[in-house]
Structure 1
Amino acid sequence: MKRTISKVLLTAVAAAVILSSCSKNPEESRYIPKTAGVVIDLNAKQLTTKLVTNGITMDKLFAAADTKDTANEVMKAWKDAENSGIDLQSHFFASIVFQGQAAEKKSYVALTASLKDADKFEAYLKKNVADFSLKTQNDFKYIWETKQHAVIGWNKSAVIYISAIDPNNLEQYAPGGSNQSSPNGDQPIVDSAVAVPAALRATDDDATIKNWVAEVDHLFHLKKEESAGSIEPFAKLLKENADAGVFVNPEAIYNSGQFTMIPANVKKLMEGTYYTGTVNFENGKILFNGNTFMGKEIAGIYKKYGKKEIDLDMLKKYPAESITGFISYAFDFRMIGEIIKATGMDGVVNMAISGKSGLSMDDILNAFEGQLVYVASDLAITKKESEYMPGEFVEKPSAKWIFSLKVGNKDAFNKVMTSPMLKEVFTREGDHYVIANPMAAATMPPVSITEKFVTVGSDSVVLQQYLGGKGSVKLPEGVESKVKGSMLGGYVDLEKVISIIPEDKAEGDEKTVLQKSKALLKDFTVVSKADGGDVQHTEAVLTFKNKDQNSLVQLVNLGTEVAKVMKEKKAKEKAYEDSLFAAPVDTATAVSPN
C-alpha cells in the first residue's frame, strides 16, 4: 500500500521518541499563523531521551504488534520514516486554522516538521505517491496529493502539509477515526489520519489547488507579526520546552466566521484571552500545567471581585480519617452575573428566570457564596439485591460521601427557597428546610438545608456526623499545603480506586497484567491559583507508585504487555472459531482398521 505524507508525519511523531540526538530550537513554529485556533507541539528530543535512556527499543515496541505481518508493516513504516529526510528529532506541530464560513471549507489542518535532507524527502514522495507531479512556486516545491486532497510543500529546511477540514466534524480527522474499505478490501478509501471533506471528493479543479498552494506559500513566508510566535502566551509556551504542549486561541476561532451567531460584545469580552497547557513525563509522575491568560475585559471582572480561596474547614470536618478523594472550589458566583451583563444578555436571562420563579438573576447568584466541596471515602464493590428482580444480587460500586454548598446572602437565599419555583418542593421547619413530599424524600439522599449550608450525604449517619463538625480528616502528606490558598483543589487516591477492581474473572496473563495495572498509579492532585494580575495557573500531578522510573517508560512497558496479552487472546479466539468451522469427520463411513 502506498504511503502518503500524512502517514509519514504521524509515523515520524511516533518514531521520534525512539531516537536520540541534539535538539534545536523549534524553528518550525515560525510557519504557524497567528490565526491558528489550536496548536499542538510535540518535543521529540525530550521524549527521545526519556525513553532511550531507559532501555525502550524499537524491538520492544514491535513486539506489541498484533501480528507478524503487522509488525513487518510497522517496521517498513519506520524504515520509510528514517529515510524520508524528515528530521525525527525536531519539534512536530499540528495546527488547526479556522477561517471563512463552515460551508466554504476554508479551514484546514497543518502538520509542520523540519527536514534534514530535502532531496531524500523528494525521492521518498516520488517513490510512494502514485500521482507524484513535482511543481515549484517561489522558493519551495510542492505536490498535490490527490488521494488526500492536500498540498505537500517543502523547502530546504521544512515541510508543511495542509488539508481542508470540516470544523463541525473534527473527530473524523483523528488517527484511528472511521474509515471504509474499498470494494476489493485492499486499502481504505479514506486515510484514517486525515479524512477527505465531502466537498473535495469530486474532481480537483485548478482553482482549488491554486488556493491551497497559495496558503502553503503564505505559511512559508509569514512575517514575524503574522506568526503565532508574535502572541506572547504562545511564545512563553515554547520557552517552557515541555515534552508536549497545546495552545488555544479562542479569538482566532470565533473571529473566523465559523461562529457567526456569537454576539460582538461576547467577542469583545473574550478578546485577548488565551489558553496554554504542557505535559512533562518525570520520574514517578506526569506533570500537567495550564495557564489561562485573561484579556482586559475578563481580567477586570476577575479583579473586581477579588481573590477567593477554598474553605478548608468544609473539607476537614468530613467524618473519616482517610478519604478516597475530594474537590473543593471557591468562586464568587456574582462574577457569572457580571459576565452575562457584559455580554448584554442579562435582560434575556432575567426574563427567563422571572417568568417561572419571580426571581432575578442577582437573587440566585447572591444566594450562594460560591464555596463548595465534595468528599468521598470507603469506596468498595458490594453486592446489592436488584430492585427489579428480588433474590438476584449484583455487584455495584458504593461509597460514603458529602456535598456541601455554602449559603451567601440569607435574605436572597430565603427568597429563592420560598419562590414559586421551589415553594412546592421545600417547606420550612424552624431554622431549616425539608423536602415537602415524604415519598420524594424517601427516594433521595439525605439533605440538610439551612441559612448557612446546603449539604447532601450518602446516608443519614454520614450527614449528621459531618453536620456535627466532629470530623478528623487526615489528608495525605503534602496535599493540604498544596491546596491551601487556592481557588480549586482536588485529590484522588487512585491506588484505592483501582484496588477495588475484581480479579476473579481474569485468568493467566490477563490477571498478571491487571495486577501490574493496579500497581501502577498512586494518586492525582489538581490545584488552581491566580499567578498575579491576569493569569490563572492550574497544576495537576499524576503520581506513580514507582518513583524511580520515568512515567512515560512505565506506561510504554505496561502498554506493550497489554498489547501482547490482547494479541494472544485474539489468537486463541481465532483458533477456537477455526475449530468450530473445521470439517467434521464422518464416523459412519470411516474405514475399520480390520
Structure 2
Amino acid sequence: MKKLLRSVLTVVLLGALFASCKNKAPKEARLIPKNASFVFVMDAKSMQDKLQKGGISVDALLKKVFQNDSTDQKDRELFNDLNNNAGINWNSRIFVFTTQKIVGSAPETAVSFLTELTDPAKFEAFLKKQPDMAGKEFKKEGTYSYVMPEKSVMISWSDKNVLTTLYTSTGGKPVYDTTTMTFKAPEEVDVTAALKTEVNAYFTQKESESLADNDIFNDMFKEKADGYMFTNSNSALAALTMLPMQLPKLEELLKDNYSTSTLSFENGRIIAKTTSYPNKLAGSLLKQYGGATVNMSMLEHYPSQSINGVMMASFNPEIIGGLLKQLEVEGLANAALQKSGLTMQDIYKALKGDLAFIVSDLSIAQPEPQAGQDEVTMTRKKPIGKMIFNANIGDKAAFAKLMDKAAEQGFVTKNGTTYKGGALLTMLGFYLQADDKNFILASDSLTYAKYVANTEKAVLSNDIMKQFKDKSMVAYFDIARTIDGFIAGAGKTGFDKSMRTARNTFKDAIATGNNFDGKTLKGEFELRMQDEKQNSLVTLMSLVTDVATDMREQARRQREMEDKIFPAGVPAIIRTN
C-alpha cells in the first residue's frame, strides 16, 4: 500500500511540475495564430508598479495631459470610464500581434490588440453607451460576441478576453490577359468578410494551430521582463509566389526562423535582449562560415574627441558563396557577371570581412565663403561633420580586379597599387583611397590622413569599449552630443524645446551582437538615460506626457483659430478643407 501511495505521489508531483512548466505560457497565446509574424507583449502590472515606485500615478498623468477645457474634460471622463468601468483587467498583459497573407495577388494584414476581461457584460454595456456605437449591430458568434465600428475594424470578446482587430488590404495587382492583350483589374476584396473570417479563426483554432504550441514563444516568458517581442519568418513564405523568379531552396531557408526579445526598464537605462533561432539550413550556413570579432584597431586611432556614432562588424565573406550554393543560383549569378569579366568569388573574396563606419563632430554651420554660390547659399546653414568608412582587404588579386574595373568606368583613378576617388566622389565631397590593405572612404583628405597616421586616439569611455570586445557586431550613438551639436548651430527653431527636452532625457545607445553559438544568435540593446538613478520608464513617461500635452495644446489652438475664421454656422466640410 505504501509503495502504491509513493507511486501515486510521484506521478502527482511530476504532473504538477509539468503543469507548472507549461503554465509559463500565457493563456492568451491560445488566441494568437501560429503564423503570426509579429507579437509584442506589455506587462501592464509590472510597468504600473515601476511608475508608482517612481512617484507617478495614473491620476497625475491624466491631470497633466488633460487640462480644463470642455474637450479635455470629455476625453478624461471617457478615459476614466474605460479604465474603471469597462470590465477590462488593466493589470494583465497586453498583446499586440500581426498576421499577414497573400490572397490572390493582394497582400492583407491584420493587427490585433488582445487583453484580459474581468466582466464581459460590463464591457458590452460600456461599448453600447458610446456615441460612436449608435446604430451598430452587436452579434453573437459561437463562444464570442462582436461589433464592427467600421467595415475594417472589429471589437470581439469572449468571457475571458477582448480583441480589437484592424484589417487592411492593399488590393491585388492588375492581371495581364494574353487573349485580349489587356490588363484586367483585380477582384475587389471584401474586407468585412475577410475580417470576420480572420477573427473567427482566432476563437475557433485548435491549440496546435496557435502560439500556445510554440516552445520558443512560450519559453520567452520564463525571463521576467516588462515587455516581450516575438517574430516569425513563416509569414514571408506566401510572398514568395509573387517573385518573378522562384529560387530553389529559398522557402527552406526562410521557413521556421524565429526571434525573441525581452524589454526591461531599469534605473537609468532600457535593456532589450534578443535571441534569434535560425532553422537547420540557415544554422548550418552560420556554423560553417562563422565570423570573427570586431577589429578594434579600426576604431582606436580615429582622430576625434567628439565621436557621434560607430558601427562595426566582422563576418566571413565566404558565407555569400555558401548561400548562393545552397540556393543553387551561383551559376546564374556568374552568368550575369560574365560580360564584365568578374565572378561572384571575385566580389566576396575581395574583402576580409572587417568593417567600420565612424561619424564625429556633427554640427550645423554656414558654408565656407568659397563654397557659396549666391546670397541664399551663403546664409543657409547645413549639417557638417567628419566620417570614415574602412573595410579591410581580403584576397588582393580579387580586390585589384574589382578596382581595375571601377577605374575603367571612371569611378576611381589608379596609380600603381593605389586607387583614389574619381570626379563623381570629389563632386559629392568625399575622399576615397584604397590599396592592398584597406578601402577607406572619408569625409575629407585631412581626416583620412590623420586616421591612417595612427597617432591620435579615439575618445570613447572605457565601459563602451569593454562592451564592444569579443562581439561580431557593435553600434553606438551618442544622442546627447549629437543634439548638442545641432542645437548650437541651429539657433532658435520650432523644434528647439523638443530637442532640449530630448537632450536632457537621453544619453546614448549601444547595440552588440554575438557570433552563432551553434543554436542561437544573441544580441543586446541598451538605451541610457541622463538620470542614472531614476527608473527609465518614469523618465520616458515624463517625456511622453510632455509631448502629449504639447500636442493637445496645439490641437486646442488650432480649433480656436478655426472657430475665429469660420463661424459656427459654416458647414464642417468647409472647415476641414
For the aligned pair, the TM-score class normalised by the smaller chain equals 0.7 to 0.9
What is residue 269 of structure 1 aligned with on the other side?
A: 253
Q: Secondary structure at the match of 1:359?
A: coil
Q: Does 2:417 correspond to 1:431?
A: yes
Contact 2:139 2:145 in 1 (8 A): yes
What is residue 351 of structure 2 aligned with on the other side?
A: 368
What is residue 37 of structure 2 aligned with on the other side?
A: 37
Q: Give the Cα–Cα distance (whole angstroms) in 1 for the partners of residues 455 and 150 of structure 2.
A: 68
Q: Does 2:382 correspond to 1:382?
A: no
Q: Secondary structure at the match of 1:94?
A: strand
What is residue 404 of structure 2 aligned with on the other side?
A: 418
Q: Give the Cα–Cα distance (whole angstroms) in 1 for the partners of residues 171 and 269 of structure 2.
A: 36
1:425 alignment partner AA: F
321-330 or 126-135, which deviates more: 126-135
Q: Secondary structure at the match of 1:125?
A: helix
Contact 1:99 1:257 in 2 (8 A): no
Measured against aligned partners, the alpha-carbon deviations of 1:131-157 in whole angstroms (never above 9, x if no partner) come to: 45454444x132342634455443321
Q: Structure 1 residues 349 and 551, CA, compared in 2 at 3 Å: closer, same or farther? A: same
Which structure has the highest helix share of the two?
2
Q: Secondary structure at the match of 2:307?
A: coil
Q: Structure 1 residues 100 and 379, CA, compared in 2 at 3 Å: closer, same or farther? A: closer
Q: Give the Cα–Cα distance (whole angstroms) in 2 for the partners of residues 578 and 101 of structure 1.
A: 46
Picking from 303, 310, 319, the partner of 1:326 is: 310
Measured after TM superposition, the shift of residue 554 of structure 1 is 1.4
What is residue 134 of structure 2 aligned with on the other side?
A: 130
What is residue 316 of structure 1 aligned with on the other side?
A: 300
Contact 2:387 2:443 in 1 (8 A): yes
Contact 2:41 2:94 in 1 (8 A): yes
Picking from 455, 459, 483, the partner of 2:444 is: 459
Q: Secondary structure at the match of 1:530?
A: coil
Contact 2:317 2:351 in 1 (8 A): yes
Contact 1:43 1:241 in 2 (8 A): no
* Aligned positions of 1:412-561 closer than 5 A: 412-419=398-405, 422=408, 424-435=410-421, 441=426, 444-502=429-487, 505-506=491-492, 514-530=499-515, 532-561=517-546
The RMSD of aligned alpha carbons is 3.4
Q: Structure 1 residues 564 and 435, CA, compared in 2 at 3 Å: closer, same or farther? A: closer
What is residue 403 of structure 1 aligned with on the other side?
A: 389
Contact 2:111 2:165 in 1 (8 A): yes
Measured after TM superposition, the shift of residue 317 of structure 1 is 1.8
Q: Secondary structure at the match of 1:392?
A: helix
Q: Secondary structure at the match of 1:311?
A: coil
Contact 2:286 2:516 in 1 (8 A): no
Q: Structure 1 residues 420 and 121, CA, compared in 2 at 3 Å: closer, same or farther? A: closer
Contact 1:271 1:296 in 2 (8 A): no
Contact 2:290 2:315 in 1 (8 A): no
Measured after TM superposition, the shift of residue 542 of structure 1 is 1.0
Q: Normalising by structure 1, what TM-score?
A: 0.78
2:460 alignment partner AA: L
Q: Does 2:130 correspond to 1:145?
A: no
Q: Give the Cα–Cα distance (whole angstroms) in 1 for the partners of residues 447 and 171 of structure 2.
A: 46
Measured after TM superposition, the shift of residue 405 of structure 1 is 0.8
Picking from 229, 237, 253, the partner of 2:220 is: 237
Q: Give the Cα–Cα distance (whole angstroms) in 2 for the partners of residues 350 and 473 of structure 1.
A: 42
Q: Structure 1 residues 579 and 220, CA, compared in 2 at 3 Å: closer, same or farther? A: closer
Contact 2:314 2:473 in 1 (8 A): yes
Structure 1's unaligned 5+ residue stretches are 1-23, 170-196, 583-594
Q: Give the Cα–Cα distance (whole angstroms) in 1 for the partners of residues 548 and 380 of structure 2.
A: 31
Q: Does 2:38 correspond to 1:48?
A: no
Q: Secondary structure at the match of 1:72?
A: helix
Q: Does 2:397 correspond to 1:393?
A: no
Measured against aligned partners, the alpha-carbon deviations of 1:453-490 in whole angstroms (never above 9, x if no partner) come to: 01122222221121122232242131111111111112
Measured against aligned partners, the alpha-carbon deviations of 1:425-473 in whole angstroms (never above 9, x if no partner) come to: 3343233123465x86465422221001011222222211211222322
What is residue 70 of structure 1 aligned with on the other side?
A: 71
Measured against aligned partners, the alpha-carbon deviations of 1:176-215 in whole angstroms (never above 9, x if no partner) come to: xxxxxxxxxxxxxxxxxxxxx97347xx6xxx3xx76565
2:416 alignment partner AA: G
1:72 alignment partner AA: Q
Contact 1:113 1:158 in 2 (8 A): yes
Q: Give the Cα–Cα distance (whole angstroms) in 1 for the partners of residues 108 and 365 of structure 2.
A: 54
Q: Does 2:283 correspond to 1:299?
A: yes
Q: Give the Cα–Cα distance (whole angstroms) in 2 for the partners of residues 450 and 377 of structure 1.
A: 24
Contact 1:98 1:256 in 2 (8 A): no
Q: Give the Cα–Cα distance (whole angstroms) in 1 for the partners of residues 162 and 549 of structure 2.
A: 36
Q: Structure 1 residues 118 and 309, CA, compared in 2 at 3 Å: closer, same or farther? A: same
317-326 or 572-581, which deviates more: 572-581
1:476 alignment partner AA: S
Q: Secondary structure at the match of 2:304?
A: coil
2:393 alignment partner AA: V
236-245 or 394-403, which deviates more: 236-245
2:64 alignment partner AA: A
Q: Give the Cα–Cα distance (whole angstroms) in 2 for the partners of residues 221 and 454 of structure 1.
A: 58
Measured against aligned partners, the alpha-carbon deviations of 1:529-575 in whole angstroms (never above 9, x if no partner) come to: 13621311221111111011122221222333344455556667777
Q: Secondary structure at the match of 1:351?
A: helix
1:36 alignment partner AA: A
Measured against aligned partners, the alpha-carbon deviations of 1:403-428 in whole angstroms (never above 9, x if no partner) come to: 11111001111111223774643343
Measured after TM superposition, the shift of residue 102 of structure 1 is 5.1
Picking from 189, 194, 198, the partner of 1:199 is: 189
* Aligned positions of 1:201-240 closer than 5 A: 208=193, 215-240=198-223
2:225 alignment partner AA: A
Measured against aligned partners, the alpha-carbon deviations of 1:274-301 in whole angstroms (never above 9, x if no partner) come to: 1223332221111122222111111111
Q: Give the Cα–Cα distance (whole angstroms) in 2 for the partners of residues 221 and 401 of structure 1.
A: 56
Q: Structure 1 residues 282 and 253, CA, compared in 2 at 3 Å: closer, same or farther? A: same
Contact 2:365 2:383 in 1 (8 A): yes
Q: Give the Cα–Cα distance (whole angstroms) in 2 for the partners of residues 501 and 434 of structure 1.
A: 32
Picking from 205, 226, 231, the partner of 1:248 is: 231
What is residue 179 of structure 1 aligned with on the other side?
A: none
Q: Secondary structure at the match of 1:297?
A: helix
Q: Give the Cα–Cα distance (whole angstroms) in 2 for the partners of residues 374 and 547 of structure 1.
A: 29
Q: Give the Cα–Cα distance (whole angstroms) in 2 for the partners of residues 452 and 510 of structure 1.
A: 45
360-369 or 39-48, which deviates more: 39-48
* Aligned positions of 1:91-106 closer than 5 A: 91-101=93-103
Q: Give the Cα–Cα distance (whole angstroms) in 2 for the partners of residues 162 and 581 of structure 1.
A: 37
Q: Secondary structure at the match of 2:235?
A: helix
Q: How many residues align?
A: 521
Q: Structure 1 residues 44 and 302, CA, compared in 2 at 3 Å: closer, same or farther? A: same
1:114 alignment partner AA: E
Q: Structure 1 residues 236 and 158, CA, compared in 2 at 3 Å: closer, same or farther? A: same
Q: Give the Cα–Cα distance (whole angstroms) in 2 for the partners of residues 374 and 360 of structure 1.
A: 27
Q: Give the Cα–Cα distance (whole angstroms) in 1 for the partners of residues 188 and 117 of structure 2.
A: 32
Structure 2's unaligned 5+ residue stretches are 1-23, 173-186, 568-577
Picking from 75, 92, 107, the partner of 1:90 is: 92
1:158 alignment partner AA: N
93-102 or 408-417, which deviates more: 93-102
Contact 2:362 2:386 in 1 (8 A): yes
Contact 1:98 1:167 in 2 (8 A): no
